[in-house]
Structure 1
Amino acid sequence: MYRIFVNDKPIILTTEVEKETDFKNFLLKGVDMEQVLNALKKKKISHVRLIHHNKDTILKKFLKKLPNVIAGGGKVYNKDQAILFIYRNDKWDLPKGKAEGKETIENTAIREVEEETGVAGLKINKPLETTYHLFRRNGKLKVKITYWFEMTTEYEGVLLPQENEGITKVEWLNKQASEAALENSYANIKLLI
């Protein structure tokens, strides 16, 4: 099962057919994505399920329906085990951004964290869950695929929000502060934290 978020509501890719309650079912083959988005806008709908017979190809089939934007990002810990957060578009988020040229996704993730926060000396420990969300750019619907990595750093310097990317704050948040920030964050970030 995969989740592709539209704001905070998921599109669930599944092979299981269930009776509709607070969700709507669609067959993946031939689905009209605008119809899916309109269903998600309804208050009584908690999610949409796209059904396909093969669990091994369901994600690939979905991703072929829309242009893909590949991104990399980091869940970065400092020596005090605080997590690096950015504040953009009135929400707390983790640093991430689009891959450029032929760079590896690991290099994308490190570069984007450095650019968006000013933090240096990043070391990747392990990959985390990949997240998916839909967005519109210039009126065109796209799916962003973000490859996340757990990172550590011993950086203790100044945090520099990348203002030209709309980032207004960068902060190290301890466990309690992270939980508070997640109250005003995105569903896929909540899954990562």
Structure 2
Amino acid sequence: MYKVFVNDKPIILTSSLQKEENFPVYIFKNASINEILYRLKSDDLQGIYLYSTNLLNDWEVFCKNFRVITAAGGLVLNTDKEILFIYRGNKWDLPKGRIEKGESIEETAVREVEEECGITNLVLDRFLLKTYHIFYMDNETRLKETYWYLMKSDYQGELVPQEEEGITEVVFKNEEEIQKAFLNTYANIQMVYKAYLTK
């Protein structure tokens, strides 16, 4: 199964006939991706299922509709098991950014967290999951594929938000504060957190 968010509304590409949500079902080979995107943006649809009989092949076909941007980021724990959050675009988010030429995905994840948060002493623990979302930039529809890693740090210094990236706050949050942040975050970020809890 692949879950791709459009403004926090999921397109769920699946080969399973089981439905967890009451979303309409489209047959992938008959579906118009542009029509689906239009409906998700303009209708009161909360999400859709795309039923596939060949998931890997259909995922490749799906991705060809977009310019794919690869990014990486981290869910960072401090010694108190608090999680590092950034505040950007009036939403709570986790640090992440695009891969640069010659970098590995892991190197990108660590660099982006360091740059966006002013943190050091990061230890890469394990891969959590990949998330996908569709966004619009320069009159082009793009698909962002983000690799997320669990990281740990004993950094005790001041956290410095990367203001040129639109980040206005960087803070470690405890469980209660995380739940409050989730009232104003993205669906993908909640998926990353769930992956951390279950892996």
Range 22-31 or range 147-156, more displaced: 22-31
Contact 1:130/1:145 (<8 A) preserved: yes
Query: Which residue matches 1:94?
Result: 94
Contact 1:22/1:45 (<8 A) preserved: no
How far residue 27 of structure 1 moved from its aligned partner, in angstroms, is: 3.3
Match runs of 1:49-60 below 5 Å: 49-60=49-60
Higher helix share: 2
- Tell me the number of residue pairs that the alignment of Structure 1 and Structure 2 aligns: 192
Mapped partners of 1:183, 1:24: distance in 2 = 26
Contact 2:7/2:41 (<8 A) preserved: no
Query: Which residue matches 1:106?
Result: 106
Letter matched to residue 38 of structure 1: Y
User: Tell me, what secondary structure is at the counterpart of 1:100?
Assistant: coil
Range 57-66 or range 79-88, more displaced: 57-66
Gaps of 5+ in 1: none
Contact 2:160/2:170 (<8 A) preserved: yes
Deviations 1:10-51 (A, max 9, x none): 0000124589x9533333336433211222135542211222
TM-score relative to the length of structure 2: 0.90
How far residue 79 of structure 1 moved from its aligned partner, in angstroms, is: 0.4
Contact 2:74/2:96 (<8 A) preserved: yes
Gaps of 5+ in 2: 194-199
Mapped partners of 1:61, 1:155: distance in 2 = 43
How far residue 115 of structure 1 moved from its aligned partner, in angstroms, is: 0.5
How far residue 136 of structure 1 moved from its aligned partner, in angstroms, is: 0.5
TM-score relative to the length of structure 1: 0.92
Letter matched to residue 51 of structure 1: Y
Deviations 1:69-108 (A, max 9, x none): 0000000000010100000000000000000002000000
